[in-house]
């Protein structure tokens, strides 16, 4: 045990001398406004290169972001249209446990919940 502690102290001292000791801040989730802005771009616009169509059950084609979500800072966010068909995991019945992040276009025909799976 004493040898292990001594080794750790020597490594710390070497890091301090070399100036390589750095502070890494804890991960912070993106703000709901940032998530809404990015996800809304996927929901509202078709970007064939970034968000190609995929074929789902019944031969229906939808944007891949509606099926697989949108990756933002290592977190995957999904959108679920509330007044029309949607092909996200909750709408497909794959899960009923999710965390609501925000709602975009509330009250409009294009209202959508943005959520993430826990």
Residue numbers of the domain that contains 99: 25-116
Closest CA to 111 of 87, 78, 81: 81
Q: What is the pLDDT of residues 32-67, one digit of tens each?
A: 999 999 999 999 998 999 999 999 989 999 999 999
State the total domains in the chain. Answer: 1
Residue written as token pair 């970007």: 47
- Per-residue b/e over 6-19, b at no fewer than 16 CB within 10 Å? eeeeeeeeeeeeee
67 is a domain residue: yes
Lowest-confidence range among 10-14, 18-22, 66-70, 108-112?
10-14
Q: What is the pLDDT of residues 96-112, one digit of tens each?
A: 899 999 999 999 999 99
- Residue of higher predicted confidence among 23 and 105: 105
Closest CA to 30 of 62, 92, 77: 77
Query: pTM of the predicted model, to two decimals?
Result: 0.75
Q: 3-state DSSP call for residue 71?
A: strand
Spatial neighbors of 32 by CB under 8 A, at least 6 apart, are 101, 102, 114
62 is a domain residue: yes
């Amino acid at each position: 045990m004493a040898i292990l502690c001594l080794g750790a102290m020597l490594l710390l001292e070497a890091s301090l001398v070399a100036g390589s000791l750095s502070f890494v801040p804890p991960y912070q989730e993106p703000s709901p406004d940032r998530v809404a802005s990015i996800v809304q771009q996927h929901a509202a616009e078709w970007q064939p290169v970034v968000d190609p169509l995929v074929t789902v059950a019944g031969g229906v084609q939808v944007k891949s972001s509606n099926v697989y979500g949108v990756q933002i800072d290592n977190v995957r966010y999904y959108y679920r249209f509330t007044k029309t068909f949607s092909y996200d995991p909750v709408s497909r019945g794959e899960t009923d446990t999710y965390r609501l992040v925000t709602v975009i276009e509330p009250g409009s025909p294009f209202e959508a919940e943005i959520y993430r799976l826990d």
